[in-house]
């Protein structure tokens, strides 16, 4: 009896776990007025998490054609995330520090 209950519980767990889509998250650190990577390649639907490890604020945005966004000001020690739900190649920058550049290629 215990074996049947355990088997049913495990089967339910696998069905529930399989139903929830799992998306990857890529972490980009901001430090010394730079992104820690210049280019990344991700899949459509994945999230990029921007971590402000700097001692100053940043503003992450994109003005790429067809994919404009602005995550607002992130103060030191905070994070901001963006789900990239369109395929393409996008330039991400800091509105405060224009030399901060990141290219995101979404497949």
Is residue 7 in a domain?
no
Measure the CA–CA gap between 8 and 10, rounded to whole angstroms. 5
Given this model, what pLDDT does residue 14 score? 46
The parent domain of residue 40 ranges over 23-106
> What mean pLDDT comes out for the span 10-31?
66
* Tens digits of residue pLDDT in 21-53: 556 899 999 999 999 999 999 999 999 999 999
Measure the CA–CA gap between 35 and 53, rounded to whole angstroms. 10
Number of domains in the chain: 1
Assess whether pLDDT exceeds 60 at residue 98.
yes
Domain with residue 98: its CATH number is 2.60.40.420
Tokens representing 27?
């972490």
* Tens digits of residue pLDDT in 57-94: 999 999 998 889 999 999 999 999 999 999 999 999 99
């Amino acid at each position: 009896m215990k074996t049947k209950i355990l088997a049913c519980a495990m089967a339910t767990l696998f069905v529930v776990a399989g139903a929830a889509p799992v998306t990857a998250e890529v972490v980009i650190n901001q430090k010394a007025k730079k992104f820690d990577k210049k280019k990344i390649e991700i899949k459509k639907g994945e999230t990029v998490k921007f971590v402000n490890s700097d001692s100053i604020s940043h503003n992450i945005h994109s003005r790429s054609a067809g994919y404009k966004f602005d995550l607002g000001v992130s103060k030191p020690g905070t994070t901001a995330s963006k789900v990239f739900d369109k395929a393409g190649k996008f330039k991400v920058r800091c509105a405060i520090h224009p030399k901060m550049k990141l290219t995101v290629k979404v497949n």
